[in-house]
Chains A and B, each alone.
Chain A
Amino acid sequence: MAPNQGARQTSDAGVLLSAEDLSRVISRIAHEIVEKTSGFDSVVLMGIHKRGYPLAKRIADRINQIDNQKVSVGALDITLHRDDLRMRPPRPLEQTDLPVAGIDGSLVVLVDDVLYSGRTIRAGLDALSELGRPAAVQLAVLIDRGHRELPIRADYVGKNVPTSTGQSVKVRLIETDGVDEVVLSVAGKA
């Protein structure tokens, strides 16, 4: 495709979630998690780099406010487990951090910003299995945009957004991007 035809230009066509919405959605997910995990002694939110990790921290903060129940947070880098490594130059690695107690026997909630093909979550499950043996694994995402390529579904969804494959969903967080918002871009490739 010839450059400068607008194909790669993104336009922030629609704001899906404002900062306010985002905070509300996080709060709702936190409530749902509290509800659905009441039977577990230990809950670990494992945020997938890069934006899943700050999301996990925010959700955990919220849970600990609601319930005074201590959930712990970890960070998961799934790069080394990706199935599309050969399509791009080598990616930098991020730190994988586990709670001191590890994840054995815990309920692990994987947290990511956007659920799309499901391949990231597949890699996340593989990465997790090398770190220990959780009692169960659940999945929380801010946006589910459809187009799954693997049999994976989320247990907690902030917002379902029907999209076309030509669109892209951009999650921006204060921690990583300086602003809280989720936008739908047209014909963009993030």
Chain B
Amino acid sequence: MKHLLSTHDLSKENALNILDTARMLSDVSDRTIRKLPTLRGRTVVNLFYEDSTRTRISFEAAAKRLSADVINFSAKGSSVSKGESLKDTALTLKAMGADAIVMRHHASGAAHILANSGWIDATVVNAGDGLHEHPTQALLDAYTIRHHLRANEGDLSGVRVAIVGDILHSRVARSNIWLLNTLGAHVTVVAPPTLLPVAVNSLPVEVSYDLDSVLGKVDAVMMLRIQHERMHDAYFPSIREYASRYGLDKGRVQLLPQGSIVMHPGPMNRGIEISAEVADGENSVIVEQVSNGVNVRMAVLYLLLGGAIEGEEKQ
């Protein structure tokens, strides 16, 4: 594995390897000294064209726990805001000797372009590209599900997951759909029809417009953030109506089978897609998702940078 660009092209073997490695590394996060020398001398650049404090600090913590040098390159306050092209930025990072570029970008496919352009030879980790994918989020979600429902072992065969919300515009949903499917889980997407892709039937999911009918039949429910501006584009009439039809509140959470978990990739709109009681309730694993995120990203960085990178072998 040279890059991590999407879960669509991630094999089951590689996915499980990441999850297993993350499990091993989770011990490190529990220790007093949360530091390993593994990536000493490696430079990881966090190239963020969109604000995302959560994802950036998660990658930063992961890289630092493995002793990599971390450079944060944010679109704000850099030459990017003056309109430098991705190509020129890439060439700059190459000149600086970046071993890995962790990129968040507003354009779908940006990470793919960076990895395949020939502009750089660094490893590329997609930290979210437009509406396309957010593979490490899906991996940490799968890790969390496996931890709770499968004791950290094996794949997710037989696990039933509902993804609820703006599937159309969600890179988190897309990455989760592919990865969960690869790992053998059964996925149901729940949303108003306007927030589903027209070609939703080409995705390996079951589709429902009715949250209440789905909740009784899932082991994990993943709530997606709903963006207010969607209302103005007529995807739904009002936030209130959305919340009442697709929000997860105290009443609805009772419908879940015993032992089911409630997830949210954050940041949450409390009181809209998820009520405060549910977010903080006993089924919620939302905070745990965050700490799992660091372990999964450590695993990804280790597996991409922890050995010889292509061309480095046979020194």
Contact = CB atoms under 8 A, between A and B. Distances in A.
**Bound pair: A and B?**
yes
Interface in A86-124: 86-96
Contacts, number: 54
Judged by DSSP, the binding face of B is loop
Interface string A3-31: 00000000000000000000000000000
Interface in A57-93: 77, 80-81, 85-93
Given A93-B25, A130-B31, A131-B31, A88 B37 contact: no
A56 to B, nearest CB: 19
Contacts of B37: 80-81, 126
A94 B23 CA distance: 10
Nearest to A89: B307
Contacts of A95: 24
B24 A93 contact: yes
Interface bracket on B: 20 to 34
B299 to A, nearest CB: 9
Judged by DSSP, the binding face of A is loop
B33 interface: yes
B308 A80 contact: no
A107 B6 CA distance: 47
A88 B35 CA distance: 22
27 contacts: A77-B24, A80-B37, A80-B38, A80-B66, A80-B302, A85-B307, A86-B308, A86-B309, A86-B312, A87-B308, A87-B313, A88-B307, A88-B308, A88-B313, A89-B307, A90-B304, A90-B306, A90-B307, A91-B306, A92-B21, A93-B24, A93-B25, A93-B302, A94-B24, A95-B24, A96-B24, A96-B27
Q: Which 8 A-B pairs have the closest CB atoms?
A: A90-B307, A93-B24, A80-B38, A89-B307, A90-B306, A80-B36, A130-B33, A90-B303
